[in-house]
Amino acid sequence: MGSKKLNIYLLLIFIGLLSVALTKSESVFSLMLSFVFYFFIGRLVNSRSSIHMMFFLGFSIFIFLPGLLNWYYLDVSFELFFLSSFIAAFFLFLTRDTQVKKFIDYGVFPKFLFVLLSLVGSLLAITDYGGFINPIFAFLIILLSLSFKQNNIKNNSIFIFIFILFFLVYSNFAWSGFGRTVVIGWILLALLQFSYSINYKVNKYVFGLVPGIGATLLSDRDIFKLEFSGFENALNDSAYGPYRLASTFIEYFNQRGFDVSGFWDQILFTFFVYIPRAIWPSKPYGFGFEYTVRHLDAYLADAGHSIASTLIGDHIYYLGYFGVITSLLIFLIIALITNVLYKIKGLNGNGVLLFSASMMVLVWGGMTSFSARVALPSIVFVLLFTLFRRFLTRKVRFVWGASN
């Protein structure tokens, strides 16, 4: 049986199980189905695609494991997990052709630029200007990948070592402890690209579950302090609380009804987040901010607090189950942009890393959190790629007497 035909059959079975799951109330049956759904999602994951692997990592950490833990301790239903699984399957299917290509020699320039930006970033971190580093991380990982050579362990080890050093400097001097989803995602993505470059096969389930279990047990935000606590203590962590909260959004919808204007504001924010508020004073706020002001307290929003909606929670909050349809449309757009990034001429498929670096944010925080995280890195990417495109795409070598 061909792979595509098998995936179609699996999808039909998946939809059938979903319809059964949403009409059954037996918790043990739902638990069993959650494992079936999870392994089905894993079946769709292309282990040679950074987009898929980072998305699956986020799905494991913020949807699957929270679903299990919240069910076990607090009897939270798996409804959000089942709906999120359907959207995840849709997105993975649309981006199935984004697997990593063979690493080729791009010459000296990407290596030179990678080392230069790593040094500049380290100096910014040490001198308390770490806020300027975040937007360049995705571009730095792209340069790192362009510096790799296929199966050249010596060359590739040197550059991943430089990246790890830079990451440790950033973590020690510039990272506040918040945003673990983003920061840990960067180092894991870089290591994933390194494994691709030396043909080391990464098991997708190990990649998804081990960091997730580690995040569950890690009680301190400081990655240099390995203080672990039990599973029950993880329930109020920012990796597990959002799933539980998002599971209640259908109740808010049932009380309030459709809020089309509120949802439209979220769409505007998602696609125009890069426009400064000084230019657009009436610019909407993201879902996390809006929810905090509506249901918690305005002073929390002013202090920078927010909440995460998970993969499709914001859609359900405004539109109820109709939000599943709108989330399909949003993920269709994200998938199309992902495929365009993958096909950027001259980057050998590495343009997709711009989104790979924030896939975990997409699963954890939904569309507005994702857009807010990728907006500035995307602008930086466009500027730097435009500036250095000639050198990056034509394999310019700064070696006397060398030729292509």
Report the percent of the chain where pLDDT is more than 70: 83
The separation between the first and the last C-alpha atoms of the chain, rounded to the nearest angstrom, is 44
338 and 98 Cβ atoms separated by less than 8 Å: yes
pLDDT at residue 121 above 50?
A: yes
pLDDT at residue number 33? 84
Which residues face 218 on adjacent strands?
Answer: 228
For residue 89, being part of any structural domain is answered with yes
Q: Please check whether residue 350 lies inside any domain of the structure.
A: yes
CA-based radius of gyration for the chain: 21
What is the average pLDDT score of the chain?
A: 85
Question: Is position 319 within any domain?
Answer: yes
In the prediction, which pLDDT does 228 show?
Answer: 53
Q: How many domains does the chain have?
A: 1
**Among 89-103, 168-182, 351-365, the least confident range:** 168-182
Position 309 in a domain: yes
Q: Which residues contact 373 (CB under 8 A, 6 or more apart)?
A: 182, 358, 361, 365
The per-residue pLDDT for 399 is 41
What is the C-alpha separation between 329 and 114, in angstroms, rounded?
36
How far apart are alpha carbons 275 and 295 in whole angstroms?
27
DSSP 367-378: HHHHHHHHHHHH
- Higher pLDDT: 128 or 224? It is 128
Is 401 contained in some domain?
no
pLDDT of residue 403: 37
Statement: the pTM of the whole predicted model exceeds 0.85? yes
Domain assignment of residue 387, given as a range: 1-396
pLDDT tens-digit series, residues 24-82: 555 777 888 888 899 999 999 999 999 999 999 999 999 999 998 888 888 898 999 99
Q: How many CB atoms lie within 10 A of CB 232?
A: 11
Query: Does some domain include residue 390?
Result: yes
Q: What is the pLDDT of residue 74?
A: 87
Q: Report the alpha-carbon distance of residue 140 to residue 119 in Å, rounded.
A: 11
The whole-number pLDDT of residue 397 equals 45
Of the pLDDT bands very low, low, confident and very high (cuts 50, 70, 90), residue 385 is confident
In the chain, % of residues over pLDDT 90:
54
Q: Which region among 20-24, 69-73, 293-297 has the lowest average model confidence (pLDDT)?
A: 20-24
Residue 370 has pLDDT above 60, yes or no: yes
Short-list 51, 61, 62, CA closest to 307: 62
131-186, pLDDT tens digit by residue?
788 888 999 999 999 999 999 999 999 999 999 999 999 988 888 766 677 888 89
Is 293 within a domain? Answer: yes
Q: CB–CB of 224/180 below 8 Å?
A: no
Confidence of residue 12 (pLDDT cuts 50, 70, 90): low
User: Is 289 contained in some domain?
Assistant: yes
pLDDT digits 0-9 by tens, 267-292:
999 999 989 988 999 999 888 888 88
Altogether, the residues listed in the chain come to a count of 404
Calculate the dihedral angle through the C-alpha atoms of 106, 109, 111, 115, rounding to the nearest 10 degrees.
-160
- The answer, yes or no, to whether residue 221 has pLDDT greater than 70, is no
